[in-house]
Chain A
Amino acid sequence: MSRRTRALGIGTSVGAIIGLIPGVGGQIAGLVAYDQTRNFSPEREKFGTGHSEGIIAAESANNAMVGPSLVPLLTLSIPGSPTAAVLLGGLIIHGIFPGPNIFRDYPEVVWPFINSMLIGQILMCVFGLMIAGLAANVARVPRAVMAAVVLALAVFGSYSVQLSMDDVFVMLVLGAGMYFLERYGYSAAPLVLGLILGPIAEGNFVEGAMIAAAQNGVLPYFFTGTLNMVLIAIVLGSIIYSVWLEMKNRNQGRAL
């Protein structure tokens, strides 16, 4: 398997999984896929310089999460991406409140909805191939122009969401801070995930703790049952893998 195919596979898989998580957007999917592909790549040092593997992983994840983001939208009314949020607004305007019963109550809406996504993917592939060459010219824009354009767009974009200068201040502080931190090896993905998923996780944790207190206690509630054990095993596996990877890299560094 070529490295680009592997990057495409990782990006698509990560995007599809992250798309299923309520409230997580394409940026997170792209960042996580980028990080994972970098971990597996033998040319890790080239990431961040426009390396094709990183671009393929981030963009394929960004696209792959669109379809799965409809799952939390249609079943739980929770949009998984900005596009899904717009779709939710459209459905509510027409008096359709997504939920577990939507497939039974509104099949004439749901299935055309899903089929149009499939057709959209095919059309996007065709048009994407047609305009890819033209779009690549963006990379030729001089850095001086790009820096000024990005700053102006970031300010206008963050201001226009809520017409608030506070959002612009937060954007600049986090943007500049993250620019420096990324150079020291810190990834933006966990920070953004924490900001988005933190309130959701806290709400569910408090709810779970209250149910646990009313039942057998916190320990049996959180640490028994197949689903809990599988999730705990995944978390532990992820931590152990990270530590192992860190030790392996250090040993390789010493050998060089």
Chain B
Amino acid sequence: MQRFQHAIPAGLIALVGLWVCFVSYTQTPAAAFAFPRLISTVFVVLALWTFFKALRDGAAQEGGFSRQEIARILPGLAVAVAYVFWGAKFFGFYTGTTLAFFILLTWYDPADHRQLRSWVMRAIITAGFMAVMYCLFALILNVYTPREIWS
């Protein structure tokens, strides 16, 4: 897995390129799709080059993620996905953001979770930040946000 991890993004990009290329070459009239054809052909050549390079060089390439890093990032990403695709609409923007903010802060805060003081600090930071956000977006900029359970 570690050896081929560079090939995964390169392969996905090559697949996207091939799909765009296929779509552009199967559409008519040809003159209207000249630009997408030109660009997607160059895109596919470069993407395939990158893909085969990733396969050839394997784990010798720079960058990438270790398992520990993936394990550290995934919970935060899961919270972000749940918040954006469900929480923000279901709870309303401000309640959803408050929950996501507090969960993220708690998850990544290195402070001892057994101490009451750390929970109070996180609650104060969350409340302070959300107060600033509410003043800025709701009171000053008058941005209408989804309210859902509060509507």
Contact = CB atoms under 8 A, between A and B. Distances in A.
Interface string A165-198: 1001100100010001101111000000000001
In this complex, which of B80, B89, B107, B110 has the most chain A Cβ atoms within 10 angstroms of its Cβ?
B80
Contacts of B32: 206
Given A183-B65, A201-B35, A206-B34, A160 B137 contact: yes
Contacts of B131: none
A145 B122 CA distance: 9
Contact of A143 (B77, B108, B143): B108
A183 B101 CA distance: 25
Contacts of A253: 60
B117 to A, nearest CB: 15
How large, as a class, is the contact surface on chain A?
A: 20 to 34
Interface string B29-46: 001101110110000000
Contacts, number: 95
A147 interface: yes
A144 B79 CA distance: 13
Give the secondary structure class of A's interface.
helix
A122 interface: no
Interface residues of B, number: 46
A183 B146 CA distance: 34
A176 B35 contact: no
Interface in B1-31: 5-6, 9-10, 13, 31
A21 B19 CA distance: 30
A158 to B, nearest CB: 10
Consensus secondary structure, chain B interface: helix
Contact of A155 (B13, B35, B97): B97
B129 interface: yes
Interface string B134-145: 000100010111
Contacts of A176: 77, 80
Interface string A51-64: 00000000000000
A144 B108 contact: yes
B80 A142 contact: no
Contacts of B104: 144, 147-148, 151
B35 A202 contact: yes
A119 interface: no
A163 B143 contact: yes
Nearest to B79: A151
Given A144-B107, A159-B145, A185-B63, 4 more contacts: A45-B62, A156-B143, A172-B85, A186-B13
Interface of A: 45, 142-145, 147-149, 151-152, 155-156, 159-160, 163, 165, 168-169, 172, 176, 180-181, 183-186, 198, 201-202, 205-206, 209, 253
